Structure formats: structure tokens, C-alpha cells
Amino acid sequence: MATFRDILAELYKVAQEDGKLSQDEYEIIKQVEVDLELFNKALATAEEDQMLEPEEIGRLMDLRDRILERAEIVARADGSISDDEIKLLGTLAQVLKKLV
């Protein structure tokens, strides 16, 4: 499973491929960071009994999906999504598949 740091590192790497981190890319990554913290807290709670129940897995999958949805909302906040933002969101979608 991908870790919190792995995901953020991958997003920063992709965002900086063109030599700069735009404000929009930064805002997307910061939103992802907030949402990953919530995901990690939910995962830690679910793993307390060292067994993931089906409803816990469902909740974690919902949280995982919400991370991408909220990142897309941030990307659309200015009325458009740049090619760099599309690439960043695509990378996010790929790394989130490694969660749960």
C-alpha cells in the first residue's frame, strides 16, 4: 500500500516536472494532504483490532474516492483545469488505487 509520504512525493514530483509548482497545483496538493490525513486516521481506527471489516473497507474506499473528488473541485475552482492539473489529477487517481 502506498504511504501518505509516497503519495505526496509523487504529486510534488509530477507538479514540478515543468520546473515550477503553480499556485493551483499547490492548492490541489494541500487539499490532498488534508484528505490523506483524514484517510490515515480512519485507517488507523479501522486497524485497531488488526482486522478490516467489510464496512470499514467500504468506508475507506469512500474516503479514497472523496480525495480525488475534492482535488477535482479545487482544480475547477478557477473555472478551468490546466493540462498540468489534469496530469496531476491523473497521477493522483493512479496512486489512490494503491490505497485499500
* Residue 97 φ then ψ, to 5°: -60, -20
Residue ranges of the domains in the chain? 4-96
pLDDT of residue 4: 87
The band of 68, judged by pLDDT with boundaries at 50, 70 and 90, is very high
Q: Give mean pLDDT, residues 6-10.
A: 94
* Residue 4 identity (one-letter amino acid): F
> 9-59 pLDDT, tens per residue?
999 999 999 999 999 999 999 999 999 999 999 999 999 988 889 999 999
State the pTM of this model.
0.91
Q: In 10 A of CB 93, how many CB atoms?
A: 13
